[in-house]
Structure formats: C-alpha cells, structure tokens
Amino acid sequence: MARKSVTDQEPVARRTGRKRVDPYEVPDETPDEAPATKRRRGPNKPKPASVQSKAEKQAHVEDSAAEDEEGEHKLTNGVSQGDGDREEQETAQPVEEPTPVKKRLGRPPGSKNGGGGTPNGKTSTPSAARRKPAAAAETPLKLNGALNGIDTPSRRNFADRSARRKSARALIDRVVGDEISDEEEGIAREIYESSENDDDDNEQESPDERDEDHPTAATTPSKTPARRGRKPGTGTARKRSPTPPRDLPPQEPYFYHNKPGRAKTSNNTLSSLDLLTHDEYFSLLRQQQQQANQHADDVRFLQSLHAESFPQWAFELSQGFSACLYGYGSKRALIHQFAHHLSKTTGTHKSPPKIVIVNGYVPTTSIRDILTILHTAIVPPSTQRLAQGNPVAMTLTFLQTLTSLPSTTLYLLINSIDAPPLRKTSPQSILAQLASHPQIHLLCSADTPDFHLLWDSGLRSSFNFVFHDCTSFAPYEVDVVDEVHELLGRLARRAGGKDGVAFVLRSLPENAKSLFRLLVAEVLAMMDDGGGNNAGDGPGIEYRMLYNKAVEEFICSSEMAFRTLLKEFHDHQIITSHKDSIGTELLSLPFRKEELEGILEDLMS
C-alpha cells in the first residue's frame, strides 16, 4: 500500500481525513502531529499547491461518495488513511496532466502481492515524486518494489472504476429521487459492492503488511519511529462500531441511516405467519385481559398523578390559557376525568358548565360537526339550528351567538388535536379562533411528538397554549388490526368481514344475494383448483364469464342490470375489480378462503 511509505504525503492525507466530518469516528488524537508538521517543513518543501487543492477536492468527493463505503467496514485508522490516500489518487488522476510513468497505487486486480510489496509509494503522484530525492536516499531498495507492482494501468481497472462511479451515482439517485427500478438497483448495488469487496480484501491484508513492514521500516530510522509509535495506538484510537453511539442529536442518526445505498434488511417476510383477524384479535385480547398485567397499577397511578393537576388546569383555563396535554399514551380517559372534575367544581347545580368533548381520532371528524355540536350545547337544539355552510361563516355565526349569551362558558375538550382529520390548517385556524374567544376554554391532547408544527406563531398566540407532559402509557384507541394491515399493505378495504357482508346483503334484493352467492361459489371453486395465488386479493373471476353465468341463472337479464348489482357491491367494498395484463376485467373478493366459506354457508342457509 502506498501509504506505508509515503511519509511526506501523509499530512495531506490526514488532512483529508479530517475534513470528512464523520460523527461516528472517535476523533483521532495524533500525538505525532507535531513531528509530522515538522517533517513537512523539512528541506523537501515547498509543498506544491496542487496537492493542497487536490486534497480539498478530495474532501468533497469523499463526503458524498466514499463515506458510505467506509461506514460499512470497520477500518482501523491506518487503513482508512491508506484508503483515503488511494482514493485521492483515483480522483486526482483525471485532473493531473498525464505523467510519463503512470503510477497507479491501487494494485491491479489479480496481482495479489503488488501493493503489499510496495511499501514505498512515493512515486504515485507528481508531487510525491518531486519529493522523492530526499526520501529515496534513505530507502533506495523499495523503489524497485514500488515500480514493480503498481505502474501498469490496466484497462480493466479503469473500466471497473467508471462502473463503480456510475453505480455509486445510481445509488445516490435512487436515494434522492427514488426512481430507479429494483432490478437496476440490484445491478448497481452488485457492482458497487463487488468493488467494495476488493477494497475489503485490500484492507484485510493490511495488518499482515504492517507486520512485514516493521523490519524494513526499521531500516529508515529517520522517519519511522514516530510512525511506529503510532501504529499500535491507532487500532484503539479510531475504532468504529456498527451502531452509532447512543446519545447523539437526532439529525446524526438520521443522516447515518439515510446514507446512499439501501439499508440492508433481510428478505424475510411475514408470509409464514398467520396474520390476525379482527375476531381473533379481540378474543385473544379479551383472554389477555383476564390475566393481570404487570403495569396496570403503575399506569393507574400515573393517571392519578396527572389527575392531581386538575385544579391547576382548571385555573389555567379560567385565566384564558388553553392547555395542551402531550406525551406517550392515550389521554382520553384523563380528559374524561377532567370533564368530571370540571362539572363538579365549576358551575352551579342549576347551570352546570357546558362541556363538549371532541374525538379527533375518529376518522370522520369534521369541523362542521364540531361547530354544530358546540352550537347545540349553548342553545337548545329545538329553538335554533346552526345553518350548515362554509365552516368559517358557521364559526362567525356561532361566536356571535355565544357572545350574545355572556353568562355561558363553554369548555371544549379535544382528544388528539393532531389526528389526521384535524391536521389541516383550516380546522386549526377555526379552533384557534374558538379558543381565543373569552367564553370558550379549550383543552386538548396531542399524540404525535411533532404536534407543535401544526401552529404558526399567529395561531399559537390565539390558542395561548400551556403545555403539560401527560405521558399516560394507556393504550391508544386505534383500530389495531386495520392499522397494522394497512401498514403492511395487506389491508383490503371491505365491510368488516363476514358479518359485514351478511349485513350488506340483508339490505339488498334477492337478485343481488344470488349474484353474490354465485360469485363466492365461483371464487371458491377457483381456489380449490389452486388457480389463485395468495397474493393480493385472491383469484379473480372474469367479468364476462360471471355475467354469462348470471344470465344463465336468471339473476339478471341485461348487462345494465348486472352492472347495477355489481355497483352495489363495489360501493360496500365487498368486491374488488382490476384488469389483468391483457385488459380483461377480473372480479375478486377481498376475503380469505375460510371467510368465503363462512359467507357461502350463510348465503345458502
């Protein structure tokens, strides 16, 4: 390896190493820094400016491209420097004017011993070459070795390099634009990794080289002592671990994880695992609840701690602040308790406080509904209804009504103000408008860690929030099974399984039932034939074929009627349709086989 002997070049190499800001690297304390600089100031200066600028350039290139390569291998200090060195040569070469003797440092593939036998790589770049006289005087022998191994610039080497560069670019593109297809990516990755493996080989050999190096190094007493002194230390000084240290600011792991090149994950899938259905989930959950949970008491205790702050919250609300509860765990129960507290402590028996609770996590929540409910809370619904319309106008009307009833105070308690239905600007600005009204007191809970991005400074000042950490560890109210299946891409939208289908069919005419029975039977038959693979929605039946069968069975007489029936199914999401590669329309059922059998049984009985 070149680095071993290019003592004079070393400061440059090290500087490039420094420029690369790698947070996972223990800063390399180099006790021999001073000697190194001294050496640089030695007689064989002045250092050519080209080296400097090259180093500069190198730093940039490496920032983007070379870093990931390093991240994946455990490199000792020495090796990483050598690597940097080599890299430098690579990128530098196109910039240099062609030197008479091309001295490429990387050992050409195949000649295993080439690099190893050239401890003196001073010949690599013109700058180093110019410095040669001084150094060469000390170790004349090694020059030969150097010339032996490195110089022939093999064609393949260049090809490899450009392929590698291309694949690196492809990988970067993928990460940035996400547009390359999987196959391409596979190829790119392969190329990239194969060249990495080359590097790997080089690096793995290096310890041996180092050992061999020692006796020869001893012959050059003027330079090596410092270097030798460092070598044992380097192993420990810049040790890398595959996982970054724990207490880093969050952006560091982010960049670490989003480096170019795909994160390596295994190809295991959940196919062997039987996913849970709603039924199974709830029956198991019920069972589990029979057993005591080890944290039940703790969770309850935590809740009671939060509950102790109720008077404080009530006071804050009464002083014109809005409260926002955040932290892990559902805060719904807590808010409900708080509503109890409010109803007990504020207001009188004749006029209890008006408390409206909003469940933001319900997917159908809309600001109109909220306003309507608020309106009915202050005005008996029989006398006056809030006209539906533009939410902004509704808000104005509502606030005017409220202002006209000065003795009314309204508590608005919102669960999950950061839930998707309320996340947009318009509901938030209306809520802020409500909150800034002196007769409305708002308390809300937030479930995501970055909820405060919902509000700009204007909204924030209308809300006039105080925040409280209400980590509760209570389970969130989510449709667990659906959420997970959607996350896994396994969720077919449908009307709640077997019972849902039965429910839908009950409201449809006899014809529709017959058609669905026919469809289920056909699909089951296909499943039995093994025609359907398990992917996606199961086997599909051809539209035309189903129509013909339906006509045969006198279910419908025209395609129009057939379409109408199917549309009903579509609307309830109990069938899905898609076109196959040649454009035939296929109808399929988003249910598993057992479910289908159950449905068929129900239909036949």
Nearer to other proteins, 194 or 345 (CB): 345
Within positions 483 to 512, which residues make up the interface with other proteins, using CB under 8 A?
A: 483-484, 486-489
Within positions 225 to 244, which residues make up the interface with other proteins, using CB under 8 A?
A: 243
Q: How far is the CB of 375 from other proteins (least distance, A)?
A: 11
- Residue 251 half-sphere exposure, CB side, CA atoms within 13 Å? 1
Is position 311 an interface residue for other proteins (rule: CB under 8 A)? yes
Q: Identify the CA nearest to 24 among candidates 70, 84, 83, 78.
A: 70
Q: Which helix (H) or strand (E) holds 541?
A: strand 540-542
Instruction: Give how many residues touch other proteins by CB under 8 A.
Output: 131
Is position 268 an interface residue for other proteins (rule: CB under 8 A)? yes
Q: How far is the CB of 568 from other proteins (least distance, A)?
A: 25
One character per residue 152-171, x = contact with other proteins (rule: CB under 8 A)? --------------------
Q: How far is the CB of 318 from other proteins (least distance, A)?
A: 6
Q: Identify the CA nearest to 300 among candidates 344, 340, 333.
A: 333
Q: How far apart are CA 237 and CA 233, in angstroms?
A: 6
Is position 345 an interface residue for other proteins (rule: CB under 8 A)? yes
- Return the range that interacts with other proteins (CB under 8 A); candidates 23-31, 163-171, 217-225, 311-319: 311-319
Is position 357 an interface residue for other proteins (rule: CB under 8 A)? yes
Pairing of strands 440-445, 465-469: unpaired
Within positions 189 to 208, which residues make up the interface with other proteins, using CB under 8 A?
A: none
Q: How far is the CB of 352 from other proteins (least distance, A)?
A: 7
Q: Is 440 helix (H, G, I), strand (E, B) or coil?
A: strand
Is position 328 an interface residue for other proteins (rule: CB under 8 A)? yes
Q: How far is the CB of 76 from other proteins (least distance, A)?
A: 24
Contact residue for other proteins among 43, 46, 137, 288 (CB under 8 A) = 288
Q: How far is the CB of 377 from other proteins (least distance, A)?
A: 5
**Chain centroid offset of residue 131 CA:** 50
Give the Å distances, CA to CA, from 123 to 94, 120, 219: 17, 8, 19
Nearer to other proteins, 197 or 345 (CB): 345
Q: How far is the CB of 397 from other proteins (least distance, A)?
A: 4
Name the DSSP letter for residue 63.
Answer: I
Q: How far is the CB of 462 from other proteins (least distance, A)?
A: 8
Q: How far is the CB of 459 from other proteins (least distance, A)?
A: 9
Within positions 417 to 456, which residues make up the interface with other proteins, using CB under 8 A?
A: 425-426, 429-430, 433, 446-452, 456
Residue with tokens 């050409």: 108
User: Do 486 and 344 form a contact (C-beta atoms < 8 A)?
Assistant: no
Assigned token pair, 115: 């690099």
Nearer to other proteins, 479 or 528 (CB): 479
Total Cβ atoms within 10 A of residue 554: 9
Q: How far is the CB of 527 from other proteins (least distance, A)?
A: 22
Helices (H), 178-295: 182-218, 224-237, 251-257, 278-290
Q: How far apart are CA 54 and CA 66, in angstroms?
A: 16
- Tell whether omega for the bond before 249 is within 30 degrees of 0, i.e. cis: no
Q: Identify the CA nearest to 514 among candidates 555, 569, 560.
A: 555
Contacts of 337 (CB under 8 A, 6+ apart): 303, 307, 310
Nearer to other proteins, 98 or 249 (CB): 249
User: Do 107 and 150 form a contact (C-beta atoms < 8 A)?
Assistant: yes
Contact residue for other proteins among 279, 280, 580, 601 (CB under 8 A) = 280
Q: How far is the CB of 573 from other proteins (least distance, A)?
A: 19
Residue with tokens 């508590």: 411
- Return the range that interacts with other proteins (CB under 8 A); candidates 27-35, 106-114, 117-125, 278-286: 278-286
Q: How far is the CB of 189 from other proteins (least distance, A)?
A: 13
One character per residue 358-397, x = contact with other proteins (rule: CB under 8 A)? xx--x-xxx--xx--xx-xx--------xx-xx-xx--xx
Q: Is 157 helix (H, G, I), strand (E, B) or coil?
A: helix
Q: How far is the CB of 372 from other proteins (least distance, A)?
A: 8
Name the DSSP letter for residue 117.
Answer: T
Radius of gyration of the chain (CA): 36
Contact residue for other proteins among 49, 263, 560, 582 (CB under 8 A) = 263
Nearer to other proteins, 136 or 299 (CB): 299
Nearer to other proteins, 36 or 367 (CB): 367
Give the Å distances, CA to CA, from 563 to 139, 162, 396, 531, 550: 90, 58, 46, 26, 11
Is position 408 an interface residue for other proteins (rule: CB under 8 A)? no
Helices (H), 379-531: 391-403, 425-435, 457-463, 480-487, 497-506, 510-528
Is position 326 an interface residue for other proteins (rule: CB under 8 A)? yes
- Return the range that interacts with other proteins (CB under 8 A); candidates 131-139, 155-163, 355-363, 581-589: 355-363
Contact residue for other proteins among 316, 522, 537, 595 (CB under 8 A) = 316
Nearer to other proteins, 187 or 480 (CB): 480
Is position 24 an interface residue for other proteins (rule: CB under 8 A)? no
Pairing of strands 540-542, 585-588: antiparallel
Q: Identify the CA nearest to 3 among candidates 79, 101, 70, 113.
A: 79
Contact residue for other proteins among 197, 201, 301, 571 (CB under 8 A) = 301
Is position 476 an interface residue for other proteins (rule: CB under 8 A)? yes
Burial of 374 (0-12, 13-18, 19+ CB in 10 A): buried
Nearer to other proteins, 463 or 569 (CB): 463
Q: Identify the CA nearest to 9 among candidates 148, 103, 145, 73.
A: 103
- Return the range that interacts with other proteins (CB under 8 A); candidates 132-140, 153-161, 191-199, 277-285: 277-285
Q: How far is the CB of 582 from other proteins (least distance, A)?
A: 25
Q: Is 577 helix (H, G, I), strand (E, B) or coil?
A: strand
